[in-house]
Amino acid sequence: MLKKDRAEYVQDKLETLYPEPAIPLTHKDSYTLLVSVLLSAQCTDERVNKVTPKLFEMADTPQGMVQLPTKRIENVIRSCGLAPRKAEAISALSKILLRRHGGKVPANMESLEALPGVGHKTASVVMSQAFNIPAFPVDTHIHRLAQRWGLTSGKNVRQTEKDLKALYPPESWNKLHLQIIYYGREFCSARGCDGTKCEICRACFPSRREPFLHRKA
């Protein structure tokens, strides 16, 4: 298959499997999503969804969050890992939202990336899932699968994002990044598939016999 053929096959297959992919992190608005995505760094969505109900019961707005001592936030989110750093970021970004953005989460990449603890991937998730603005968040899992399927050179996550955006129209980005995540978890995980086992890997590269060695993010 040529790259464009692989890209089309992947999208068609994922659309069949996951026609309406749900947002994995439980949230009620852009602020609770932002906090949840920040907490998901080096942590599973499942764990975050177990932690955030207690946190959001204490505070689910910037106004409420700034009233909490950072240590109290840290204690609640401890099981998510990197708790001191994440608690500081949640407190600091809440103050900035109040001071600079009227307590609202800004709907643009530049302002989001300027917030403490918010990198490009986190900002892309918020743009996509909170505001439905086309973005293609690329985490280590999407980075790995895009390489396995021959959709990117895999130099780094930024290059993978650029390559995927070039292959697919903007109106498909928000849905497709979720579909890839779900497929990776179910069929093409880091340990469950080595680039030769799942249906998409076999279809894209039927003659591949050795495990695919991908570049790390």
- Ordered by where they begin, the domains of the chain are 3-21+136-204 (1.10.1670.10), 30-131 (1.10.340.30)
Task: Give CB contacts under 8 A, 24+ apart, made by 82-85.
Answer: 82/41, 82/42, 85/117
Q: Return the pLDDT at 26.
A: 97
Q: Tens digit of pLDDT for each residue in 60-95? A: 999 999 999 999 999 999 999 999 999 999 999 999
Q: Tell me if residue 139 is catalytic.
A: yes
Per the listing, tokens 């030769």 go with 196
Q: Which of 60, 121, 163, 175 is catalytic?
A: 121
| Residue 107's pLDDT band (cuts 50, 70, 90) | very high
Q: Which of 60, 86, 139, 175 is catalytic?
A: 139
pTM, to two decimals:
0.94
Q: Tell me if residue 163 is catalytic.
A: no
| Structure-token pair, residue 92 | 């600091």
